[in-house]
Amino acid sequence: MRNTQVLLPCFVLLCAGILANSTVTSSAGEQATAVKMTFSHVGMITTEKKPGERFVPATRVWVTDFKTHPYHVEWLRFEPDSPVTGPVRNMPHVAYEVNSIKAAAKGMKQLIAPFDAGIAIVGLYQTTDGAVVEFMEMKEGQ
């Protein structure tokens, strides 16, 4: 447990510092599209209730507010009957605010199709090397 307590803040700070405002350019045939990606948070799986959890009906998961966590950690606690399976349920994820989920996820394996998570439209994807990535199109005023 002690290693996790030290490594998690270091990992989050590294992500925040390096990836705070990245722009990825992808080629869509005849036209290149720039995708603005801003680091948002790291999602960690837990089985313990956390203060301030809120329920996301679409995925049947309890989540904490990553915006109030000092290291931008979002804790996820899945209900037993959650439809979420595989890497999203078993692995941590890194999340980015993007201007286009479709453009940001180009070439990635879709794990969960974009859905309304309350504060944003969210989609979860897997990179070619196995990492789980969440892309968020924020709603107006969020």
**Triad 70, 72, 76: Cα angle to 5°:** 120
Task: Specify the pLDDT at position 42.
Answer: 98
DSSP tag of 85: -
- Asked if the model's pLDDT at residue 139 lies above 80, the reply is yes
Burial call 118-130: b when 16+ CB within 10 Å, e when fewer? eebebbbbbeeee
**In 32-107, which ranges are continuous DSSP H helix?**
87-90, 101-104
Our count of domains for the chain comes to 1
- Asked if the model's pLDDT at residue 114 lies above 70, the reply is yes
Mean pLDDT of all residues in 9-37? 52
Mean pLDDT of all residues in 8-27? 46
Average pLDDT, the chain: 83
Task: Specify the pLDDT at position 1.
Answer: 46
- Asked if the model's pLDDT at residue 94 lies above 90, the reply is yes
- Asked if the model's pLDDT at residue 84 lies above 60, the reply is yes
Query: Which structural domain, as residue segments, surrounds residue 133?
Result: 2-138
User: What percent of the chain has a predicted confidence (pLDDT) above 90?
Assistant: 67
- Residue pair 115/139 in contact by the 8 Å Cβ criterion: no
- Asked if the model's pLDDT at residue 12 lies above 90, the reply is no
Q: Which residue type sits at 51?
A: P
- Asked if the model's pLDDT at residue 31 lies above 50, the reply is no
DSSP tag of 128: T
Instruction: Give tens-digit pLDDT for 50-79.
Output: 999 999 898 899 999 999 999 999 999 999
CATH number, domain of 76, equals: 3.10.180.10
Task: Specify the pLDDT at position 22.
Answer: 53
